[in-house]
Amino acid sequence: MEDRESLDRVSRIQADWRRERPDLDVSPQGVIGRLHRLAARLTQELCAVYDRYGLTEGEFDVLCALRRAGAPYERAPGELAVHTMVTTGAMTKRIDRLERAGLVTRRPSADDRRARIVALTGAGRELIDQAFTDHMRNERRLLEQLTTAEAEALETLLKTWLHRMDHPRTPGGE
């Protein structure tokens, strides 16, 4: 067995559990534990860029969803919620903050006067274009720790796993 000091944190935790609960297979922690730690580290690294632009992760997502919509860079709040995977309540808070900052505006929908449309302002588009450029630079920096082949293989595995989590097979089906 490897020297305990040469093991990473997850391996040490697994070793402890194997000692304390030899009746359990703790091998899933090797993947899940490392993914959890990596996700926390990546979030920290990504949020550092958002912070430089005075944005939270959620606000960055809203601005990106508007920018990705293409000209005239607008969406309904419910549509934004779907594109950022948050509740409409959380979306309202984000939009409020972005509107106060002058990065988005709200206007009545032409189709339904009760509905609102959220649009990027010129300042919002300029900010998200700069922030997204830095974000991509940062993501590239983070991925440079892997070879191109490793990054491609990891992307394929994660895509497959996420698809299976999002579309579970029914018992007896394929």
**66 and 80 Cβ atoms separated by less than 8 Å:** yes
DSSP SS3 for 104 = strand
Instruction: At 42, list the tokens.
Output: 């990546």
Regions of the chain short of the pLDDT cut 70: 1-6, 172-174
Nearest alpha-carbon partner for 63 in 114, 108, 119, 18: 119
Tell me how many degrees the CA angle 99-87-100 measures, rounded to the nearest 5.
Answer: 10
pLDDT reported for residue 44: 97
- Spell out the residues 6+ positions from residue 71 whose beta carbon is closer than 8 angstroms to its own: none
Domains in the chain: boundaries: 10-18+29-163
**62 and 81 Cβ atoms separated by less than 8 Å:** no
pLDDT reported for residue 84: 84
Amino acid at 103: L
pLDDT reported for residue 65: 95
Classify domain 10-18+29-163 by CATH architecture. Answer: Orthogonal Bundle (1.10)
Instruction: At 30, list the tokens.
Output: 């090797």
pLDDT reported for residue 98: 97
**55 and 152 Cβ atoms separated by less than 8 Å:** no
pLDDT reported for residue 109: 78
Q: How confident is the model over 69-116, as pLDDT tens digits?
A: 999 999 998 889 888 878 878 888 999 999 999 999 999 877 777 778
pLDDT reported for residue 95: 94
**76 and 119 Cβ atoms separated by less than 8 Å:** no
**62 and 84 Cβ atoms separated by less than 8 Å:** yes
